[in-house]
Homo-oligomer: A and B are copies of this chain.
Amino acid sequence: MSTRTPSPKPARQAPRSARAAGAHAPAAVDERYAEELKLWVVLSRAHAAVGRHSEADIARHGLSSAEFGILEALYHKGPLLLGDLQRRVLVSSGGTTFLVDRLEKKGLVAREACPNDRRARYAVLTGAGRALIRRIFPDHAAAIARAVGGLTREERRAATKLLRTLGRAAAEADGGEPG
């Protein structure tokens, strides 16, 4: 994985322009939201770090993260309209079509008509799809559990609560709130 190179850090000399007096002095406003920015940074890093574990586990089975998400959603929720699937897996509309197409080609998912609404289509697991997700899901759950194992049970509970609140508030503030 070329993204991560845990290398030793030989102290190198900074280039001329870096040493030019105060060349990159950050503005005072930086202090103002430092705490909020820090939260955003650690949120991103934690997500990336855990996500790396998740994807590494999923990739072993020849699936992408999004594909796995679809199989998992169908496994636990039963047949879903493509739109519901889209919202659940956090992917674009085109992406949903693309992913379901591919899973269909792999024989893991099928489309089914919705009796009430002929615009809509259900995605459903095939027998092979159900068998696959049933087989790999436990390992995946264990991999995630290891990935978040750096927190104690109590800490995980607290983190879950905070993140749920944070996520909900951020999602709702999408429109644009008054300052």
Interface size class of A (residues with CB under 8 A): 35 or more
Give min CB distance, A118 to chain B, whole Å: 12
Contact with B along A1-12 (1 / 0, CB 8 A): 011110100001
Question: A163 contacts the other chain (Cβ, under 8 Å)?
Answer: yes
Contact between chains at B155 and A165 (CB < 8 Å):
yes
Q: Which residues of chain B are near A59, meaning CB under 8 Å?
A: none
Q: 1/0 contact trace for A56-94 toward B, CB 8 Å?
A: 000000000000000000111111010100110011111
Interface residue ranges, A against B (CB under 8 Å): 2-5, 7, 12-18, 23-24, 26-27, 29-30, 32-33, 35-40, 42-54, 74-79, 81, 83, 86-87, 90-94, 112-117, 120, 122, 124-125, 130, 134, 137-138, 141-142, 144-151, 153, 155-160, 162-174, 177, 179
The answer, among B35, B124, B163, for a CB contact under 8 Å with A15, is: B124
Known contacts A2-B92, A50-B170, A37 near B155 by CB under 8 Å: no
Task: Say whether A49 contacts B171, CB under 8 Å.
Answer: yes
Query: CA separation between A170 and B87, bound complex, in Å?
Result: 27
A162 to chain B, nearest CB (A): 4
Once the chains bind, are B150 and A46 in contact (CB under 8 Å)?
no
Beta-carbon contact of B156 and A26 below 8 Å: no
CB-nearest residue of chain B to A155:
B162
A124 to chain B, nearest CB (A): 5
Cβ contact within 8 Å between B145 and A45: no
A134 close to B173 (CB less than 8 A): no
Assess the A39–B165 pair: CB atoms within 8 A.
Answer: no
Q: Besides the contacts A14-B79, A17-B112, A159-B159, what 5 more A-B pairs have beta carbons closer than 8 Å?
A: A13-B114, A29-B138, A40-B144, A42-B160, A146-B173
